Amino acid sequence: MASANKNLSKYDSSMVPNGTSFRICLIVSEWNHEITNRLYIGAQKTLLKHNVLPENIVKIHVPGSFELIYGASKAQTQNFDAIIVMGCIIKGETRHFEFIANAVAQGIKDLNVNGKSPVIFCVLTDDNIEQSFQRSGGKMGNKGVESAITALKMISI
């Protein structure tokens, strides 16, 4: 794993664009809510830290990670500067994990290729719940923070 021993949530704030004029949609899966809420809080705090106005941060809930694709496709029609999709898919005893993780990744890729605003992938695909906790505010940082920084940088392209 490329980030096995790194906390990628530490970054140089001076390298992040000012978000004062940005409008960002955070689409959050309700499945594994304890994890996805931690991702959301990390992203929201980071966006606010970089001057995105509270009223320009819109949160939309969808039932699960698979539904993030549809939510993001709808959000792309609503003049957001960026969209962040947040989910948590934990490997189980069946191949369901593989199908969902692959479908979500491909769906978000397609939206980035064909859509008018960037869709940032903040979907954890972990072997167990402990890994998810470590990547949503634990020793591995918070992928929500990283997704917010990514969104701000992508808007500026």
Q: Which residues are catalytic?
A: 96
CA 148 to CA 47: how far, in whole Å? Answer: 6
CB of 39 closer than 8 Å to CB of 144:
yes
**Which pair of tokens denotes residue 106?**
């491909």
